[in-house]
Amino acid sequence: MQQATQTYRGRFAPSPTGPLHFGSLLAAFGSWLAARHADGEWLIRIEDLDPPREVAGAAERQMHALASFGLISDAPVVKQSERGAHYQAALDTLLASGAAFVCHCSRSDLADGGGVHRACVAAAARPDPAIRLRVPDGTRLSFEDGLQGDFAQDVAAEVGDFVLRRADGLWAYQLAVVADDAAQGITDVVRGADLLDSTPRQILLQRALRLPTPRYAHLPLVVGADGRKLSKSLAALPVDAADPLPAMRAVWHALGQASLAATGSGSVDRLLEAMRRHFDPARLPRTPQLSLAALHNDRDTKPD
């Protein structure tokens, strides 16, 4: 069968909730390298949907940091805060088809079921209801992740009917990410494994909206020596935009790539070019977690 060749298009989608940490840099480089390896495009999208969690100036600082590593979006940077009309259109489609419904349940209404919504049990109507996607009983979904292999989830039992627009009027990440990945023509999502269990929800939404499903590859989450997610610990390896080369080398190593010792790499541009040329996707780590301690020990025994 003849298949239309589709240009690879990847993306990096940080939330502006703080400075770039090592884990987010791994996703940024992982997605950039995979896109460049496929002669594809790479876009940056700012996921600024949650004003209470945002830090003033963080988006600009993240862009500045990415630029200091040579990572520049191939298209104008999209900000989710400016895309409400698109999310509303997607929501209207889901409401019209009956896939989404208005929900008056409060957190305490759902407490007995562990927060999982299976049916409306609201004690009273709220002036500000949420909107959820209906996930019928028995909805199981599995997909083949490019790094983590087969991933299966019983979405009905484990997640339940999930929120698309919150009671406070804010758009839920799941709806926005699906609408934007489709609108931007993203073919390949490379991101952290903390989002692995969000992917079945996103695939359900893509199906309900008749949108294509991109390929997914989830990079291991970098954890501190105590096993805690790095972004939640005291940024063990802070990303220093003023001195990008050490962080680039650490990222390269964490991505399982062969040493670049032989390549001259005194400048960001030269190192980035060497990374682009030598990147081997087959070497990417396939575990759900990567311990920072193991990375350090490994580094001590190998010349860089």
Could you give phi then psi for residue 175, rounded to 5 degrees? -70, -45
* Segment holding 87, helix H or strand E: helix 84-97
Stretch that binds ligand GLU, among 7-15, 58-66, 82-90, 207-215 (CB under 6 A): 7-15
Give the residue with the Cβ less far from ligand GLU, 12 or 252.
12
33 three-class SS: helix
Give the residue with the Cβ less far from ligand GLU, 56 or 111.
56
Cβ 128 vs Cβ 167: under 8 Å: yes
Cβ 121 vs Cβ 110: under 8 Å: yes
- Give min distance, CB of 267 to ligand GLU, in A: 29
Q: Is 191 in the site for ligand GLU (CB under 6 A)?
A: yes
Stretch that binds ligand GLU, among 12-20, 127-135, 159-167, 257-265 (CB under 6 A): 12-20
Give the residue with the Cβ less far from ligand GLU, 20 or 272.
20
Instruction: Provide the 10 A C-beta neighbour count for residue 253.
Output: 18
Give the residue with the Cβ less far from ligand GLU, 75 or 268.
75
Stretch that binds ligand GLU, among 13-21, 91-99, 112-120, 151-159 (CB under 6 A): 13-21
Among 8, 9, 10, 13, binds ligand GLU (CB under 6 A): 13
The whole-angstrom separation of Cα 75 and Cα 72 is 9
Strands (E), 111-225: 130-133, 140-145, 149-154, 162-165, 188-192, 215-219, 221-223
Stretch that binds ligand GLU, among 8-16, 118-126, 208-216, 262-270 (CB under 6 A): 8-16
- Give min distance, CB of 84 to ligand GLU, in A: 17
Q: Of 45-84, which residues contact ligand GLU (CB under 6 A)?
A: 47
Give the residue with the Cβ less far from ligand GLU, 103 or 177.
177
DSSP β-ladder status, 130-133 and 100-103: antiparallel
- Give min distance, CB of 15 to ligand GLU, in A: 4
Give the residue with the Cβ less far from ligand GLU, 83 or 104.
83
Closest CA to 126 of 107, 98, 99, 100: 107
* Helix, strand, coil distribution of the chain in percent, nearest 5: 40, 20, 40
Give the residue with the Cβ less far from ligand GLU, 131 or 179.
179
The whole-angstrom separation of Cα 50 and Cα 196 is 21
The whole-angstrom separation of Cα 304 and Cα 283 is 17
300's tokens: 């001590």
Among 8, 9, 10, 15, binds ligand GLU (CB under 6 A): 15
Q: Of 160-189, which residues contact ligand GLU (CB under 6 A)?
A: 177
Q: Is 239 in the site for ligand GLU (CB under 6 A)?
A: no
DSSP β-ladder status, 188-192 and 221-223: unpaired
**Interacting residue ranges for ligand GLU, rule: CB under 6 A:** 13-15, 47, 177, 191, 195
